Homo-oligomer: A and B are copies of this chain.
Amino acid sequence: MKFTKNVSPDDRKMLNSIFWRSFTVFASRAGATKAHAPGFMYSILPAIDRYYKNDPKGQTEALERETTWYNITQNVGTFVMGLVASMEKKNSQDPDFDANSIVALKTSLMGPLSGIGDSIFWGVLRVIAAGIGISLASQGSVLGPILFLVIYNVPSILTRYYLTYIGFTLGDTFIEDMYESGSMKLLNKAASTLGLMMIGSMTATMVTFKSTLAIPIAGGKPIEIQTYLDQLWQGLVPLAVTLGCYWLLSKKVNVNWILLGVLALAIVLGLVGIV
C-alpha cells in the first residue's frame, strides 16, 4: 500500500504501537460523559511520548486535550488516531499551531465515521458472517462459530491497520499544505464550525428524553405531554439540559457537581412519574 510505504521507520513503529493499543480502546468506559476517552488516551500515548519527548508540559497538555467524550466504531477509529498523531506532531514542532483544532477535528469526525463504520461492520459484514455461521451451527457444527469469527475479523483488522496509516499520512500532507498557504487560522475556524455542527446534531440524536406523562381526561383519551413538548421545540429537554450544562461549565462549576445534578434530575423525574 502506498500509504504505508512513505512513512519513516520511527513513525512506523509508533503507528504499529497505536494500532495494537487501539484494540483495547473500548475496554474501559468512563461513564456517559467521557465514554471511551481513557482508551483513546492509552492508544495515542506512543505519539504523545514521541513528539513531546523531553517536554512533560507538552505531554500533560496533550493528554488533557484527549479527556473529552470519545466514541467511534473502533475499526475505523484508528483513522482518527493516525490523524491526531500527525496533528500532535505539528503542534510539537510549531508554537503557532492552534491545538484546539485537534479536538475540533476529532469531534467532527465521530458522528459520520461511526455512521459509516456501524453500517458496514455491524450492519453488513457481521450479518453476512452470522448468516453463514448460524447455518452451519444450527446443525451442531463447530465450524459455525469459527467461520463466523474469521469472516468478520479478517477484513475488520485489515481496515483497522491500514486506516491507522492513512489517517496519519493524509493528515500530514493536508496540514503541511495548510501551513504553506498560511491558512491555519481558517483551518481552525473550519474545524470548529464542523465540530459544533456535529455536536449540535449529536445533541439532537444522542441526548434523549421522553416524558411518559399523560393527563387522563374523564370521558376522553389522555393528553400526552411529550406531544406538546415536541410541538414547542423538538428535543427541547435534551437541548435545554445540554445548554444548561454548558452554561454551568462556563460559570466554572465543577463538572462533578453537574454530573450529580443531571443524575439527580433524571432520578427525580422518574420518581415523580414524569419519565
- Asked if A138 contacts B218 (CB within 8 A), the reply is yes
- Asked if A231 contacts B138 (CB within 8 A), the reply is no
CB-CB under 8 A from A116, the residues of chain B are 232
CB-CB under 8 A from A215, the residues of chain B are 127-128, 131
Copies in the complex: 3
A87 to B223, CA, bound (A): 40
- Asked if B232 contacts A138 (CB within 8 A), the reply is no
A216 to B131, CA, bound (A): 7
Which DSSP category, helix, strand, loop or mixed, fits chain A's interface?
helix
Please name the residue on chain B nearest to A225 by beta carbon: B124
A119 to B231, CA, bound (A): 7
CB-CB under 8 A from A216, the residues of chain B are 131
CB-CB under 8 A from A127, the residues of chain B are 215, 217, 223
Residue in B120, B128, B218, B228 whose CB lies within 8 Å of A131: B218
Known: A128-B215, A215-B128. A231 touches B123 (CB 8 A): yes
CB-CB under 8 A from A217, the residues of chain B are 127, 130-131, 134
A window 107-127: CB within 8 A of B: 115-116, 119-120, 123-124, 127
Proximity string of chain A (236-272) to chain B, C-beta cutoff 8 Å, 1 when within and 0 when not: 0000000000000000000000000000000000000
- Asked if A120 contacts B232 (CB within 8 A), the reply is yes
Please name the residue on chain B nearest to A122 by beta carbon: B228
Q: Is A173 an interface residue (CB 8 A)?
A: no
A215 to B115, CA, bound (A): 21
Q: Is A140 an interface residue (CB 8 A)?
A: no
Please name the residue on chain B nearest to A125 by beta carbon: B228
Q: Is A60 an interface residue (CB 8 A)?
A: no
Q: Is A100 an interface residue (CB 8 A)?
A: no
A223 to B127, CA, bound (A): 8
Known: A127-B215, A215-B127, A217-B127. A228 touches B119 (CB 8 A): yes
CB-CB under 8 A from A223, the residues of chain B are 124, 127-128, 131
Q: Is A219 an interface residue (CB 8 A)?
A: yes
Q: What are 27 A-to-B residue pairs whose CB atoms are below 8 Å?
A: A115-B231, A115-B232, A116-B232, A119-B228, A119-B231, A119-B232, A120-B228, A120-B232, A123-B228, A123-B231, A124-B223, A124-B225, A124-B228, A127-B215, A127-B217, A128-B215, A128-B223, A130-B217, A131-B216, A131-B217, A131-B223, A134-B217, A134-B218, A134-B219, A135-B218, A138-B218, A138-B219
